[in-house]
């Protein structure tokens, strides 16, 4: 049955190509038609916060999707229809996994594997692997290199490769392209833009958001050649509402870095303004609320306990590193890092000062941290400033506990800690409650009513009814 259907699909495709045999149709035309008819097999390398939502978007568009990940437990979970990403419900995974066993369905399908040999049968491959920093704070390209090498071993005529991993400008041309160009088929090299196609499209997913999703967030795409751009654009526009083509891959790479550097620099500015306001005895939150009433020339940013997540703390460093290789010092980025990465220590000093005002020492005090994920209402702990705050408080001798409905356990430099039960007794026994993440499930009025001292780094207590609790804002 399967073979018959595949033969029928090939015949239909051949008919759409004016009856020309598939063997003599150019790789470009053949792949383009396969994409347009949703017959292209699409692989997603890396099934994390970026890759899995993207896989579901293409499956929803009707494509057969193969997800490749090195984590076997994750792969097994996905093939059982269970999701590990909060933005992707398990029901969605299960629906497309089930369709994989029903080739007659008109809907897309999804399967996961650890085997890179699946690439032999793929028409399009999208790389969504991590791009962390090394111990020396330089870009770690090892995941991209591994993915590119695995693709190169299985590269064939008519394959589209798209890099989505955030990286420095030049990565697609300097790291991915040379590895693919070394490949020879029948003793001949494959030409980019004719035999295979290479593009870059930065991921723009903001975990936890429902207003802007993988479908609705505009997709920037740059190709190595115009034909590469056309191929990638045709693929993405089948699943994403708005496509923004740019002239080359380096431009697309720079777009993502500009977006997150813009945010990092402006967050650093408002964090420093918060410190200034503290010295001036001015409420920074009131200042921001008043300033944002100006209808032009101002965009509100808000202070916080530091930067978290995989993108904003890391992406500007990729740009700074690249510019350093060109003998240019990215001063704004360096200054922003200094301010932002100093905020956890600033919060600790606020805790120490507030305890001193109550004639208490930090050492031996019971500190309860509320919210440890890097942003509200998600379970992502990557680069969370709350973990840095807890680490410093612990090192200084405080008795630290935390509560977070999205993080049942944390590991901080070998120190393992499980979330506490948030009860009246727990709040009342704490010498200080530190609010670091504003989860929607928290009842701030109840928390304040049952606490003695609160350090509020998110201004969530702005509208609570005054009580005996002393509130210290960032």
Q: Which helix (H) or strand (E) holds 470?
A: strand 470-473
Specify whether the CB–CB gap between 321 and 138 falls below 8 A: yes
Give the residues across from 456 on adjacent strands. 435, 473
Burial class (CB in 10 A: 0-12, 13-18, 19+), 364: exposed
**Structural tokens at position 147:** 């993915």
Q: What does the alpha-carbon distance between residue 248 and residue 400 come to, in Å, rounded to a whole number?
A: 50
Q: What is the 3-state secondary structure (H, E, C) of 20-70?
A: CCHHHCCHHHHHHHHHHCCCCCEEEECCCCCHHHHHHHHHHCCCEEEEECC
Distances (CA, A) of 359 to 345, 374, 468: 21, 32, 17
**Structural tokens at position 294:** 């100006």
Q: What is the 3-state secondary structure (H, E, C) of 188-200?
A: EECCECCCEEEEE
Query: Residues 128, 228, 311, 432: which is the catalytic one?
Result: 311
CB atoms within 10 A of CB 403: 21
- Inter-axis angle of helices 249-280 and 284-291, to 10 degrees? 130
Specify whether the CB–CB gap between 152 and 182 falls below 8 A: yes
- DSSP conformational letter for 420: P
Q: What does the alpha-carbon distance between residue 279 and residue 474 come to, in Å, rounded to a whole number?
A: 11
Distances (CA, A) of 27 to 5, 13, 389: 22, 13, 55
| 3 state SS of 344 | helix
Strands 109-113 and 184-185: unpaired
Torsion of CA 35, 52, 260, 473, to 10 degrees: 150
Specify whether the CB–CB gap between 368 and 430 falls below 8 A: yes
311 included as an active-site residue:
yes
Specify whether the CB–CB gap between 410 and 385 falls below 8 A: no
Residue 66, CA atoms < 13 Å, CB-side half-sphere = 18
DSSP helix, strand, coil percent of the chain (3-state; round to 5): 40, 15, 45
Q: What does the alpha-carbon distance between residue 199 and residue 163 come to, in Å, rounded to a whole number?
A: 6
Q: What does the alpha-carbon distance between residue 306 and residue 149 come to, in Å, rounded to a whole number?
A: 37
**Known catalytic residues?**
311
């Amino acid at each position: 049955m399967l073979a018959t259907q595949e033969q029928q699909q090939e015949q239909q495709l051949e008919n759409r190509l004016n009856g020309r045999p598939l063997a003599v149709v150019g790789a470009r035309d053949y792949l383009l038609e396969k994409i347009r008819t949703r017959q292209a097999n699409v692989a997603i390398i890396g099934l994390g916060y970026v890759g899995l939502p993207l896989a579901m978007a293409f499956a929803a568009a009707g494509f057969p999707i193969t997800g490749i990940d090195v984590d076997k437990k994750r792969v097994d979970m996905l093939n059982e229809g269970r999701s590990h990403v909060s933005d992707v419900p398990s029901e969605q995974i299960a629906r497309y996994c089930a369709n994989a066993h029903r080739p007659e369905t008109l809907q897309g399908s999804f399967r996961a594997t650890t085997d890179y040999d699946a690439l032999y049968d793929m028409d399009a491959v999208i790389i969504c692997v991590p791009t962390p920093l090394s111990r020396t704070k330089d870009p770690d390209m090892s995941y991209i290199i591994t993915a590119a090498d695995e693709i190169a071993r299985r590269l064939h005529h008519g394959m589209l490769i798209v890099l989505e991993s955030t990286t420095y400008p030049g990565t697609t041309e300097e790291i991915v392209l040379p590895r693919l160009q070394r490949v020879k088929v029948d003793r001949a090299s494959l030409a980019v833009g004719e035999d295979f196609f290479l593009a870059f499209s930065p991921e723009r997913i903001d975990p936890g958001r429902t207003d802007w999703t993988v479908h609705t967030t505009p997709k920037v795409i740059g190709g190595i050649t115009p034909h590469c751009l056309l191929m990638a654009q045709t693929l993405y526009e089948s699943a994403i509402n708005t496509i923004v083509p740019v002239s080359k891959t380096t431009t697309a790479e720079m777009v993502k870095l500009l977006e997150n550097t813009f945010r990092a620099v402006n967050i650093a500015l408002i964090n420093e303004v918060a410190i200034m306001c503290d010295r001036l005895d001015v409420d920074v939150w009131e200042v921001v609320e008043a300033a944002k009433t100006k209808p032009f020339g101002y965009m509100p940013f808000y202070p916080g306990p530091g930067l978290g997540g995989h993108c904003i703390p890391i992406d500007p460093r990729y740009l700074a590193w690249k510019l350093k290789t060109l003998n240019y010092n990215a001063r704004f980025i360096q200054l922003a890092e200094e301010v932002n990465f100093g905020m956890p220590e600033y919060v600790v000093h606020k805790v120490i000062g507030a305890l001193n005002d109550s004639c208490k020492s930090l050492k031996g005090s019971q500190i309860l941290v509320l919210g440890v994920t890097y942003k509200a209402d998600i379970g992502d702990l990557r680069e969370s400033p709350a973990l840095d705050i807890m680490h410093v408080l612990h090192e200084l001798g405080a008795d630290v506990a935390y509560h977070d409905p999205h993080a049942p356990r944390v590991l901080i430099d070998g120190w393992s800690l499980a979330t506490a039960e948030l009860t009246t007794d727990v709040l009342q026994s704490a010498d200080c409650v530190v609010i670091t993440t504003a989860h929607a499930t928290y009842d701030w009025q109840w928390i304040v009513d049952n606490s003695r001292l609160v350090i509020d780094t998110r201004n969530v207590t702005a509208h609570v009814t005054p009580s005996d609790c002393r509130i210290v804002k960032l």
